[in-house]
Each structure stands twice: as structure tokens, then as C-alpha cells.
Amino acid sequence: MLLLILLCAFGLCFWIQNKLGFLKGKHKILDAMIACSYCLGFHCGWTSYTMVILSHGESPTILSFVVQAIVHGFASAVFCYFFDELSLLIESKK
């Protein structure tokens, strides 16, 4: 399930950064978060975790849910940052 959450988070992060142009220029903090794949990856991680948990019908305790959401957020932040930098490196070689 972790791989599903990480891939979902990366897809969400990529989509927001590259396909939702109307979000840019609305607010300084939002612009800064969209420009940073680590920051946006964190928020996409806990969001993806929430979506997957809810879609599977699980009902963890509040404390367990919050802790797991934060852990998945940080794991996703690293995952999104790594793959964003890797894709930029690959694209620069062309």
C-alpha cells in the first residue's frame, strides 16, 4: 500500500505543478509551495494517504491516523523531490 500512496502523491504533485497553471500567481505562499516539490510532496503525501485509507474503508484511531498521515507526508516529500530532480536531470540531457 505504501507504493500506491507514494505513486499517487507523486502523480498529484506533478499534476498540480505542471497542469494547474491557474493556481499560480494567486498568493505568495501558494506559489512558493507549488515551486517546491518537497513542500508540495508533503501535502500530496498526507492527502494521498487519506484518500487511500478512506477508499479502503479503514477507520484507524485519530492519533494513529494523524501520525501515519505525517509519516506518509514526509516519505512522499522525499519521494517527490527525488523523482522531480531525476526527471529534471533526464530532461536536461536531451
Higher pLDDT, residue 1 or 47 = 47
Query: DSSP state, 56?
Result: T
Amino acid at 91: E
Q: pLDDT tens-digit profile of 27-61?
A: 899 999 999 999 999 999 999 999 998 898 888 89
Amino acid at 16: I
Provide the residue ranges of all domains of the chain, joining segments of one domain with +: 37-94
Residue 41: which of 89, 82, 88, 92 has the closest Cα?
A: 82
Q: What is the end-to-end Cα distance of the chain in Å, rounded?
A: 34
User: 57: left (phi > 0), else alpha (psi -120 to 50), else beta?
Assistant: left
Interatomic CA distance for residues 79 and 91, integer angstroms: 18
As a whole number, mean pLDDT of residues 54-77 equals 92
